[in-house]
Amino acid sequence: MKISEILRIIDGTVCTEGDPQEIEIRGGCGADLMSDVLTTIQPQAILLTGLVNPQVVRTAHMADVSAIVFVRGKCPHPETVDLANQEGIPIISTPLGMFEVCGRLFSAGLPSLENELNLSI
Amino acid sequence: MDFSSQSVDAIEAAAGKISRVEELVYVLRVSEVMTRDIKVLSPSMSMSIVLELLRQEHISGAPVILNADLIGVVSLEDLIRALLVNDLDAPVGKYMTTKIITARASDPVVEALKVFTKNNIGRLPVVDEYGKLVGIITKGDVTLGILNALQKDFQREEVRRYRASHLFEDIVSDRSSLILRYNIKKDDFTRGGNASSNIKRALVRLGANHQIARRCGIAIYEAEMNLIIHTTKGGIIRVEIEPHKITMRAVDEGPGIVDIELAKQAGYSTATDEVREKGFGAGMGLFNINRCVDKMTLESEPGKGTRLEMKIYLQPEESVGETGYHFGENSK
C-alpha cells in the first residue's frame, strides 16, 4: 500500500521534508515501547506510535521502518523531525487514536508486520 | 482485502520476474538508440554510387530522399539485382524499394524489434511525428543501446553503493579488523542511539548486507540504551569488524546486575516510570539482543560493572551483497 493511500485512510499529514506519497509500505506495527518495536517489527513497515521523541526515529532506523505515524494528533518534537529528515524517514501525524488507525489500515488490507514471539530463550 | 489491490500485487509480482533487458526494450525509445548520422541517397544517383557507399561505410542499405521526403530504401539485395543485369548506371529510383516500413522515433524499442521479426529485416528508417526521416535503427543499434543503458545502471549502482568494503582487500595482513569506539553518557536520551546509527551505517558501507546490519543495529541499540538508562556513569561501546565476524561490546563500571538470569527474561525490567514514559524499559532489551546475535555473553558483578559481548558470524556470501531479509532466522 502506498503512503498516499495511507494518508487518505487515516486523515494524515506529513510532518517531514519531501513527498513520501509513492513509498510502498508492506504492513504495519503499533507500539509505544521501543524495545517491543525492535523485538517484533519486520522491515519496511509503517510504525504507529504515541511516542514522539527522537528515539522513535532511532528505533525506526535500526529496524528498517519505512515511515512513522504519530497517533492521537501528537505533534513531534522539532528534534524528532530534524532527525527524521536526516535519516530520510517520513513522519505522518493523524488526529485518530491508535485503535482507530490500526483498525482502518488493517480493514483496508494493510497486513500486520508484527512477529509473534516465542518468549522462552 | 480488496481485490483491486490484490491484482495489482499480482501484476507487480509478475513484473518482478521480467529481466532488466526485457524491461529496457519497453523503457528505451527508438530515438535513444538509433543512428542519427545517416547516409542518404537521391533517386537520380546511379547504382554505382550505391555500391561505393555501401562498401565505404560498411552498411547494408540506405534511405532515399527526395525534397526532404523519404521515398524509398536501397538495400544490398537491390544492388545485387542491378549487378546481376550489369545495370550499375541505372538511377537509384529504378531499383529502390518504395514499400517502406518505418519506425517511429517516439516508440519504445520493442516496437522496432517486432517489426524486425515480423518482416525479417534488420534495418528501419526512423521518422518523427511528421514523417520526416530522423535516423536509422538496426538490431545492432538496439543491442548497443541496451548495453549502454545497462552500463549506466551499473555505474549508478556503483555510486549508490559506494562502499568501503575494499578496505579489507586493500590492506594485507594475517588478520585485519576495524575497531569503532563510542563513549556513551548516562541519561543522554537526546543523543541515545546515535552511536548505533553510526555503527549500522558503517556496517552497510563496509559491505554488510541489510539483514546483518539490521541485526547488529538492533542489538547495539538495545545495549546503548541500557548504558544510558541503567549505568551510574555511562559506558563504552566497542565494535570490532572483521570480514568473517562482528564483535560488539558494551562495558560499564556499575552498578552491575544482581540476577543475570532474571535480567535476561523477556518482560523483566528495573526501569523507572520516567524511563518508561520515554518508551523504554519494556524489559525486552537483553532478550532481544540474544535473539539478534549469534553469541551473547553477559558478565556482571554488583558494584563493579557489566560487560556484554555480542558476536555475529558472517557467512562468506553475507559479507558482501544483499541476500534479503529472513527476520529472526539466524537467532541462536
* B289 and B195, same domain (yes or no): yes
Per-residue pLDDT, A15: 93
Q: Are B211 and B247 in the same domain?
A: yes
As a whole number of angstroms, the distance between CA B216 and CA B235 comes to: 18
State residue B266's pLDDT score.
82
Domain that holds residue A95: 3-107
pTM above 0.90, yes or no: no
Secondary structure element (H or E) that encloses residue B316, with its range: none
A37-51, B151-165, B171-185, B311-325: least confidently modelled range: B311-325
Provide the pLDDT for residue A118.
Answer: 65
Answer for the pair B106, B31: CB distance below 8 angstroms, yes or no.
Answer: yes
Mean per-residue pLDDT of chain A: 91
Residues of chain B contacting residue A119, judged by C-beta atoms under 8 Å apart: 266-267, 287
Regarding whether B210 and B143 lie in a shared domain, the answer is: no
Q: What is the pLDDT of residue B225?
A: 92
pLDDT at B24: 86
Task: Confirm whether A120 is domain-assigned.
Answer: no
Q: B4-18, B22-36, B160-174 — which one is most confidently predicted on average?
A: B22-36
**Residue A33 domain flag:** yes
Q: Which one of A4, A34, A83 makes the best mutation probe of the B interface by having the most chain B beta carbons within 10 Å?
A: A34
Q: How far apart are CA B127 and CA B30, in angstroms?
A: 10
Q: How far is A67 from chain B (nearest CA, A)?
A: 16
- The answer as to whether A121 is a domain residue is no
The percent of residues above 90 in pLDDT, for chain B, comes to 43
Which residues of chain A are within 8 Å of residue B262 when distances are taken between CB atoms?
Answer: none
Give the pLDDT of residue B155. Answer: 76
A-contacting residues of B 164-193, CB under 8 Å?
Answer: 189-190, 192-193
Alpha-carbon distance of B137 to B142, in angstroms, equals: 7
Torsion of CA B181, B182, B183, B186, to 10 degrees: -140
Nearest to B278 by CA among A63, A5, A59, A30: A59
Q: Render pLDDT for B31-76 as a digit per residue (tens, 0 to 9).
A: 999 998 888 999 999 999 999 999 998 888 899 999 888 899 998 9
Give the C-alpha separation, A76 to A66, whole Å.
Answer: 17
Which of B6, B160, B212, B218 should be substituted to probe chain A, the one whose Cβ sees the most A Cβ atoms within 10 Å?
Answer: B218
Q: What pLDDT score does B11 carry?
A: 55
Determine whether the interchain pair B193/A87 forms a contact, defined as Cβ–Cβ distance below 8 Å: no
* Nearest alpha carbon to residue B31 among B180, B190, B167, B141: B141
CATH code of A9's domain = 3.40.1390.20
Assess whether B99 and B189 both reside in one domain: no
Q: In chain A, how many domains are there?
A: 1
CB B228 within 8 A of CB B234: yes
Give the count of domains, chain B.
Answer: 2
> Which carries the bigger pLDDT value, residue A100 or residue B279?
A100
Helix B139-160 and helix B109-119, axial crossing angle in degrees, nearest 10? 150
Residue B184 and residue B304 in one domain: yes
Q: Is residue B80 part of a domain?
A: yes
Could you tell me if B216 and B299 lie in one domain?
A: yes
> What SS3 state is found at B251?
strand
Mean pLDDT throughout A39-43?
A: 88
Higher-confidence residue: B88 or B16?
Answer: B88
Q: Is residue A113 part of a domain?
A: no
CATH number of the domain residue B266 falls in = 3.30.565.10
Of the candidates B325, B322, B326, B330, the residue with the CA atom closest to the CA atom of residue B163: B322
Banded pLDDT at A121 (limits 50, 70, 90): very low
**B219-256 residue pLDDT tens:** 999 999 999 999 999 999 999 998 889 999 999 997 98
Q: Which of A34, A79, A109 sits opposite B279 (nearest CB)?
A: A34
Residue A3's nearest CA partner among A90, A99, A114, A102 is A90
Kindly state whether residue A114 falls inside one of the protein's structural domains: no
Is B182 domain-assigned? yes
What is the structure's pLDDT at B330? 38
Q: Are residues B123 and B185 in the same domain?
A: no
| Interface contact A121-B282, CB threshold 8 A | no
CB pairs under 8 A between A and B: 98
Same domain, B16 and B143: yes
For chain B, the average pLDDT equals 84
Q: Are residues B128 and B15 in the same domain?
A: yes
CA nearest neighbour of B147 among B26, B17, B21: B21
| Full residue range of the structural domain in which residue B259 is found | 167-318
Could you read off the pLDDT of B108-135 as tens digits, one per residue? Answer: 999 999 998 898 888 899 998 888 899 9
- B149 alpha-carbon distance from chain centroid: 14
Asked if residue B21 is part of any domain, the answer here is: yes
